[in-house]
Structure 1
């Protein structure tokens, strides 16, 4: 659904009526259900009278005047095969719900690649109050129109060229997704998928924010995954909480006898023991973490 034009003067309204009626080739239908064939002089004058008021001539004299009508187009996908009668009814119901006091007149254009309904909607209502159609109103009209077609059994969805407030919404969503992962897969394989190394448990995660995949390895991953009932597609928080240094005993041998021992910091692979936090309820304000050793 979109606004394609407007008329500011009574003459402009007549021109818009002639345009959507294809100079009389198409039948018009107004918001009260009356039909017009403007090839007939009397019916043409009746259609003009329906969409204009006497005071329009005083207020709307030239193109600098406020708009009198909007020219709107309602369309649906060709694959939906919406009938002319259902299209008219869906548009009529949509506009009457949104603007119950504003008159309009419609025509169905089916001689194009995408059949659609043209509508001329009066901007001043029956009491002289003007409507101001904003982006959110266009969204409402699209959603109501799609809903009316769905009620009539058509498989259609509402789309928006511009989603109101989308930028700020996406920014909030990215902040909310920081530190969250989708579980891609898990199992047991050669460490870092190197055939020369021994088997180790692993879990592959995809960040929600940047869609980056990363694989973590850990001895206790299997039992933790089973205990927490993690499945591919689960969304979890997973973070390394920091290294912890371990100490072991270095035995002192003198004259082939154990003479004592002293604590030392381990080196190599045993020096750092990574501690991982896993939380299956990442959106809770307070969360308990299960620690996984690697």
Structure 2
């Protein structure tokens, strides 16, 4: 039997551990010992491109988050007024119809109230979800809007939704409100995996317009920042927020996710360092530098001298990305 080539071994490690880093479920893909496999090579090529975008080019990260939701038509209509500046900004529905005045805003609310199961003025359950799709400052707002439109057509099919572009603030973003009950009677219930898929879809649509965009998870990037909720930002701007929210994440789940990502990166770095290709070895060092510069790594470096519980004690980040990491291996 012909022994596997170095490139096949490395492709296997990229697929096995790259899937864990870049795709939902935080899973480890079990791969067979390396062999000629076109699909496998294509999967590895996709992982390489995502590593390059995240680590080398530091591609802008899309943001798709649920900012709240209306429990009744009163709250939903109030959100319509907020995102459209009471009808001053153009708003677009799921049919692609664009309107811009108070009367049209009122008509939209009545359509939602009666379009399916009746939505009472107040409701014990969430009757709509409010999303925000955002890109960093400098991105063309119209492209953000077009990508958001395509995102909604794919991910929110068969639902009533309305979206409004905000380009008067630093980051161009689209507010998108979607009726929880679909036209077929099924209810939307977004979970963590759905949110990650939504980010992936939005990033893909942006790339289709020539905008470099990525949807890499915070754990993969070693990030620890806690994003401010929309209600917190509004309360702070109005002077109603008495306490400052924690800006950094913490806790066991946070630590497990970051250490899981760090372990995956360590296996990829170890594999790339064994490559007979200079480009792979250079990529390994860029990844190591990227990890050392991450928020999590810096935070851990500051805390490593302090006493921590045995179950959360972790190896020094510098050691994890050093040449002491075991070489490529496969789950059999």
- Whether TM exceeds 0.5 here: the answer is yes
- Whether 2:136 is the aligned partner of 1:77: answer yes
Deviations 1:122-156 (A, max 9, x none): 11000111011011111111111011001100122
Which structure has the higher relative contact order (CA within 8 Å, separation 6+)? 2
Structure 1 residues 162 and 180: alpha-carbon distance in aligned structure 2, compared to 1, 3 A threshold: closer
Q: Could you say which residue in structure 1 is the equivalent of 2:157? A: 100
Q: Could you say which residue in structure 2 is the equivalent of 1:169? A: 260
Partner Cα separation in structure 1 for residue 211 and residue 272 of structure 2: 37
Q: Please, which of 50, 54, 76 is the counterpart of residue 13 of structure 1?
A: 76
What's the offset of the Cα at 1:180? 9.1
Stretches of structure 1 that go unaligned for 5 or more consecutive residues are 184-205, 214-232, 239-280, 287-294
Which structure has more helix as a fraction of its residues? 2
State the Cα RMSD in Å.
3.8
TM-score (norm 1): 0.56
Tell me the number of residue pairs that the alignment of Structure 1 and Structure 2 aligns. Answer: 195
Please say which structure displays the higher CA radius of gyration: 1
TM-score (norm 2): 0.50
What's the offset of the Cα at 1:103? 1.5
- Whether 2:110 is the aligned partner of 1:49: answer yes
What's the offset of the Cα at 1:56? 4.7
Q: Could you say which residue in structure 1 is the equivalent of 2:297? A: none
Q: Could you say which residue in structure 2 is the equivalent of 1:67? A: 126
Task: Kindly report which structure 2 residues correspond to 1:252-271, keeping only aligned pairs within 5 A, or say none.
Answer: none
What's the offset of the Cα at 1:121? 0.7
What's the offset of the Cα at 1:100? 1.3
SS at match of 1:95: helix
Q: Could you say which residue in structure 1 is the equivalent of 2:329? A: 283
CA contact (8 A) 2:203 2:215 kept: yes
CA contact (8 A) 2:81 2:87 kept: yes
Which structure has more strand as a fraction of its residues? 1
Stretches of structure 2 that go unaligned for 5 or more consecutive residues are 1-63, 221-253, 275-287, 292-314
